[in-house]
Amino acid sequence: MAQEALSEVSEVPNRRSNSLDRRMSHPNHRWFVLAVLALAQLMVVLDATVVTIALPSAQKALHFSTADRQWVVTAYSLAFGSLLLLGGRLSDLLGRKRMFVFGLIGFATASALGGASTGFLMLASARALQGAFGAMLAPAALSLVTTTFSDPKDRGKAFGIYGAVAGAGGAVGLLLGGALTEYLDWRWSLYINDVLGAVAVTAALMLLPPSAPERGVKLDWPGVISVVSGLVGIVYGLSEADTSGWSSPVTLAFLLAGAVLLGIFVMVERRAEHPLLPLRVVLDRNRGAADLAFLVSGIGTFGVFLFLTYYVQLTLHFAPFKAGLAFLPMVAVLVATSAYTNTVISMKVGPRWIVTTGMAVSAGGLAIFAQLDVHSTYLGGVVPGLIVAGVGLGLVFGTSLNAATSRAAAHDAGVASALVNVGQQVGGSIGTALLNTLAASAVTSYVASHGASSMAVAVTKGEDLAFWVGAGIFAIGAIVSALLFQSGRLQATPGGEAFALGA
């Protein structure tokens, strides 16, 4: 099946490809393409959280230790985060449709292997494979959105929808993981990707027009080695900080090595004839600001998903499926806000004030969560924060996605798209390590002062501290967005590439 699917993606001109080109020129067909791309993005994003709720059941079934459990999550994030830039450049080098379908097939195959796991090593290896294929899939999907929609109004709608999926995917993963674990089996938290993947591959082969590789794109192997090694060091170091602490020699060694290697990567790229990451992609103000916005939102949204999941399950005693349902108000508001913002507001206002406002509103949502205690209720305490945070994140995601790929030349579309995912992935890793460490320290300190009988209160104190820090990070993001984003709205050139008006 894989061989037939990949051959179908061949860029050789033929009667069928010409027919596809004519069909895809009709504007309505582009929205079917967007649905396929959004489904693929949902697979990648929800897989960061869908397995989280299933982990206790998987651990019991496969008999692995609590110390090993973190690797089921870390293996995915390590492979995904470190290989994204390579995946983005490969989509430029080999063709976006080819990489998109290849990534889908590989991701679904790895998911099937994970679902059939007979032990810890097989499960962790399958998760690493999922991350590797996800790193090929995600940049190809976003760059296809970028090249498919060039008209400003349609582009705004498309990125509003795609941004909503990117923002809400984590919450959808919690909901889906809870339902599958509670009513079927933990293995279905992985098998579900085979169902979604089969639909996405079939639709992609039918709907996506051929996309030829970009001319003049070559792989920069020194850049590949230095950036992959550097990102592995950073992501692994942050993961180690979450479990062993920030002062651990292993944590410090990996973080330092990662930082040095990324510094070497920058020097390599400045001199490379065909750089993996052309510095022009990063130095554009709107793209650079949007990538930073995704880094900040990756840190902040971790506090919403992880610590709110802790709160509704441990303090409000929600079952896994009910805990997933608890996030629905935020998902609904986020989707509606993102779609409306990119359809209506972005036509009149540029990304600077939309993203800045979104960051500030998100900070307000986390500040509401920081008021939660053992006596709070779901409707009175949790729902208001979900609604406010949903509005804020809805303002941030779609607009930032649009800006992150604006003014990118066709041969840079893949790597520009990969940078967005790198920011979100590294941000999530920073959030995991930083907020978990701070929350655990707060719990330990409170128990030491008030005794072990106060554990329930101590846990909420730790969660509240994490929410306050997350709110502060979003507030910093608002300041950075106001300073870095250009004024004026994003528009499209006649050639289909985006540019920003104003300075």
- The 3-state secondary structure of 424-478 reads HHHHHHHHHHHHHHHHHHHHHHHHHHHCHHHHHHHHHHHHHHHHHHHHHHHHHHH
Strand partners, 146: none
pLDDT at 429 (0 to 100):
77
The one-letter code for the residue type at 293 is A
188-197, pLDDT tens digit by residue?
989 999 999 9
The top-scoring range by mean pLDDT among 5-19, 42-56, 323-337, 351-365 is 351-365
pLDDT at position 312 over 80: yes
CATH number assigned to the domain with residue range 2-219+276-500, chosen from the 4 options 3.20.20.70, 3.30.470.10, 1.20.1250.20, 3.10.690.10:
1.20.1250.20
Reply yes or no on whether the pLDDT at 52 is more than 80. Answer: no
Residue 379 vs residues 10, 312, 327, 362, 383: alpha-carbon distances, Å = 53, 12, 12, 19, 5
Residue 256 confidence (pLDDT) above 60: yes
Q: How far are the Cα atoms of 74, 200, 329, 407, 473 from residue 236, in angstroms, in the given order?
A: 8, 31, 33, 33, 22
Token pair belonging to 198 = 């089969």
pLDDT of residue 497: 40
Between 6 and 206, residue with greater pLDDT: 206
Query: Which distant-in-sequence residues (6+ apart) come within 8 Å of 129 by Cβ?
Result: 79, 106, 109, 110, 113
What whole-number distance in Å separates Cα of residue 142 and Cα of residue 71?
28
Q: How far apart are CA 397 and CA 168, in angstroms?
A: 10
Which residue do the tokens 């080109």 mark? 21
CA-based R_g, the chain, Å: 22
Q: Does position 417 have pLDDT exceeding 90, yes or no?
A: no
Q: Measure Cα distances from 68 to 112, 155, 235, 243, 304 in Å.
A: 21, 44, 17, 11, 25
Question: 332-384 pLDDT, tens per residue?
Answer: 898 889 888 877 777 778 888 999 999 999 999 999 999 999 999 999 999 99
For residue range 95-105, list pLDDT tens digits in order.
888 899 999 99
Q: pLDDT band for position 16 (50/70/90)? A: very low
CB 212 within 8 A of CB 95: yes
Least Cα distance to 155 among 499, 391, 394, 503 occurs for: 499
DSSP percent split of the chain into helix, strand, coil, nearest 5: 80, 0, 20
Convert the pLDDT of each residue in 205-216 to its tens digit.
888 877 766 666
- Measured CA distances, 143 to 87, 158, 211 (Å): 11, 12, 11
Where does 95-187 have alpha helices with state H? Answer: 96-115, 120-148, 152-183
pTM for the full predicted model: 0.79
Tell me the percentage of the chain whose pLDDT exceeds 90.
Answer: 27
Compute the average pLDDT of residues 207-236: 81
Degrees to nearest 5, angle at CA 475 with 308 and 85: 80
- Asked whether the predicted pLDDT for residue 317 surpasses 60, the reply is yes
pLDDT tens digits, 114-131: 999 999 999 999 999 999
- Kindly list the domain boundaries of the chain, sorted by start residue: 2-219+276-500, 220-275
**SS3 of residue 492 by DSSP:** strand
